[in-house]
Amino acid sequence: MTAFDKALLKAGVGNVNLLRVSSILPPGAVYEARLEIPPGSLVPIAYGTLVCAETGAHIAAAVAVGIGAGAGDFGVIMEFAGHCGRQDAERRVSEMVTEAFQHRGMELAEIKVVAAEHLVVTCGCVFAAVPLWY
């Protein structure tokens, strides 16, 4: 639990209550690099995470947001976590977003990706997220 807590703090969401949501970005959502969220707030969030206690393991988590090309289009968020490096995790979530847009018959305008990776010493955690704060 401590590794997960430290990963949340590093991601900037360690002092709020996470409400895990599925993968749809509301129409009109605006990107903010650093959110100022009051401590204790209930925050809808899509995330990928992995805790590992295997010494020497390379772990990564990534999220990708696909933004629709049409005015008023919603977006799609995809999450991934696994035993791999950052680049592999980023590639996987980007491919998932592209596929999600194809399944919906929507035109994809842009993909934003964020990832975290970690080499486990004793116990470690990776966490990548898209908080949906209004």
Show which residues are catalytic. Answer: 17, 22-23, 79
Distance CA(38)–CA(40), nearest Å, equals 6
State the distance between the two ends of the chain, measured CA to CA, in whole angstroms. Answer: 28
Close Cβ partners of 70 (under 8 Å, ≥ 6 residues apart): 106, 107
User: How many Cα atoms sit within 13 Å of 65 on the Cβ side?
Assistant: 22
Euclidean distance between CA atoms 107 and 87, whole angstroms: 25
> Which 3 state secondary structure label does DSSP give 11?
helix
Beta bridge partners of 58: 119
- β-pairing verdict for 24-25 and 58-68: unpaired
